[in-house]
Structure 1
Amino acid sequence: MRAPIYQVDAFTDRLFAGNPAAVVVLDTYPDDARLQDIAAENNLAETAFLCPDGGDWSIRWFTPTIEVPLCGHATLASSWVVLTVLQPDRPDVRFRTRQSGDLVVRRDGAGFVMDFPANPPVPAEAPSGLARALGIDPVAVLATPRQYIAVLESAGQVRSLRPDPEAIGKLDRRGVVVTAPGDRGYDCVSRYFAPRDGIPEDPVTGGVHCALAPYWCGRLGKTEILAYQASARGGEILCRLWDGRVELQGRCTPYLEGRIEIDR
């Protein structure tokens, strides 16, 4: 079977920044083991797989090692593929997911706006080993079902952090977010480490901002924030909070287009 594949840098308006995602367009899904093989072969933080679903699209996301319930940057990249290449006359696209409901993405100027469920974090006790894994004591710790969020004092601490991925992988959550008040015109900065998911550091993570947006909007008394994920590649996300939902707005830059040869 031959299938189109695209690699798109998400949450950026320039090449070699933001978060690269692969998007594979299929007629039907092969078995899960084959999807995982493809994601491992791509060796990017996420590969999104799209299949037609009536007038909409079904979407699934895989890291090099597991399937995940939601991925923001690969959804943004998939929106670029659908609304720029496959169906350029559409103003928006609806993605049907297995665990995160329907996700609607619309055009907005040169970018796209994703409508995601909010995931407000709750205060948590710092787990044993967190400070050692990060190399710094957080001023506060929050949690979602999948991540710990370590709040630091300054953006400089976030940017200069050199954590221990092996120690992070031993914690009882899938990953750790570090965040602090923003600098350089941003409301907040963050980084995300998820070695248990095969992602030592994710360059820009849309799904994590479903938790960061409620926290920082509440802390800053805003309904809209401009967030920056301070990885080596870096990327910015405009986040809007409304009615239990988070809008994540960003741009995409395409890198490659081709075809893959797979069996089922």
Structure 2
Amino acid sequence: MKLPLYQIDAFTDKIFGGNPACVVPLKNWLPDEVLLKIAKENAVAETAFFVNKGDRIHLRWFTPEIEMDLCGHATLATAHSLKSILEYPNDKIIFETLSGELIVSVKNDLYSLDFPSRMPVLTELPKIIQKSLNLQPKETLKSRDYVLVYDTEEEIRNIKINRQIFDQINLDPGGVVVTAKGQNCDFVSRYFTPQSTILEDPVTGSSHCSLIPFWSSRLKKEKLNALQISDRVGILECENKKDRVIISGKAKTYSVGNLWIE
């Protein structure tokens, strides 16, 4: 069986930036074990699979290990594939997902993702996470992910993870996001996933479902600019809208090809 395969760099305006995602259009769903094997073979943080139902798109996301409940950069990558490669006619794309209906609006080369808000709440920092970090946060919050708040962007850049300890944590399907006010933007972050092939995710749209309401409340503003300061760097335009968040970014096509499975 021959299937199309697109690799897209999301939340960036240049190749080799942002977060790479693979996108695989399907006519019908394949068995979950096959989807997981494809994701593992692709060896990027997320592979998005979709079935076009005409007025809406059925979308699922797989890491090399598990199916995810929500993924921002692979959703953006899918929207970019639909518009720039497959000539999808509508500028409003409706996705059916495990997190409900998600809408992506396209204007020029900017993709705006309408995602659920996940305001984190104060909690205690688990000792296992504490031991895995070289720098300790001033606040710990949690929604799907642990949100660790620091004083400065420099601290975020200098955080190191002891992977031997960190991989003892089971946060399926979540992770740990570290964040602080930015020097040249409203806030910065980095994102780490225990027990995963890729420890640090370059750009994590879903973590901003928590970061946006948190920093909107903290900074007293609804529209924010964010950077995820991984090696590849992600650029995100954010807006807080009560029980929803808008996460906007650009994307670039890296490759267009095919995969073959028996």
Superposed, which structure 2 residues align to 1:34-183 within 5 Å?
Answer: 34-97=34-97, 99-144=98-143, 146-173=144-171, 174-183=174-183
1:132 partner SS: helix
Q: Provide the C-alpha distance between the structure 2 equivalents of 1:131 and 1:154, rounded to a whole number of angstroms.
A: 18
Structure 1 residue ranges without an equivalent (≥5): none
**Counterpart position of 1:10:** 10
Does residue 221 (structure 1) correspond to residue 220 (structure 2)? The answer is: yes
Instruction: Determine if contact 1:168/1:176 at 8 Å carries over to the other structure.
Output: no
Paired residue type of 1:48: A
Q: Provide the C-alpha distance between the structure 2 equivalents of 1:49 and 1:252, rounded to a whole number of angstroms.
A: 18
**Counterpart position of 1:242:** 241
Paired residue type of 1:138: P
Q: Provide the C-alpha distance between the structure 2 equivalents of 1:60 and 1:230, rounded to a whole number of angstroms.
A: 26
RMSD between aligned residues? 1.2
Instruction: Determine if contact 2:2/2:261 at 8 Å carries over to the other structure.
Output: yes
Deviates more, 1:35-44 or 1:48-57: 48-57
Instruction: Determine if contact 2:188/2:227 at 8 Å carries over to the other structure.
Output: yes
Instruction: Determine if contact 1:169/1:175 at 8 Å carries over to the other structure.
Output: no
Q: Provide the C-alpha distance between the structure 2 equivalents of 1:68 and 1:195, rounded to a whole number of angstroms.
A: 14
| Residue 206 of structure 1: how far off its partner (Å) | 0.2
- Post-superposition Cα deviations, 1:189-210, rounded to whole Å, max 9, x if no partner, equal 1000003243300000000000
| Residue 133 of structure 1: how far off its partner (Å) | 0.8
Instruction: Determine if contact 1:69/1:100 at 8 Å carries over to the other structure.
Output: yes
Instruction: Determine if contact 1:83/1:93 at 8 Å carries over to the other structure.
Output: no
Instruction: Determine if contact 2:8/2:22 at 8 Å carries over to the other structure.
Output: yes
| Residue 164 of structure 1: how far off its partner (Å) | 1.5
**Counterpart position of 2:201:** 202
Instruction: Determine if contact 1:83/1:92 at 8 Å carries over to the other structure.
Output: no
Instruction: Determine if contact 2:93/2:104 at 8 Å carries over to the other structure.
Output: yes
Q: Provide the C-alpha distance between the structure 1 equivalents of 2:107 and 2:164, rounded to a whole number of angstroms.
A: 40
Q: Provide the C-alpha distance between the structure 1 equivalents of 2:52 and 2:109, rounded to a whole number of angstroms.
A: 25
| Residue 42 of structure 1: how far off its partner (Å) | 0.2
| Residue 55 of structure 1: how far off its partner (Å) | 2.2
Structure 2 residue ranges without an equivalent (≥5): none
Q: Provide the C-alpha distance between the structure 1 equivalents of 2:153 and 2:125, rounded to a whole number of angstroms.
A: 20
Q: Provide the C-alpha distance between the structure 1 equivalents of 2:168 and 2:147, rounded to a whole number of angstroms.
A: 16
| Residue 53 of structure 1: how far off its partner (Å) | 2.0
| Residue 88 of structure 1: how far off its partner (Å) | 4.0
Instruction: Determine if contact 1:127/1:171 at 8 Å carries over to the other structure.
Output: no
Runs of 4+ in 1 over 6 A off after TM superposition: none
Instruction: Determine if contact 2:169/2:194 at 8 Å carries over to the other structure.
Output: no
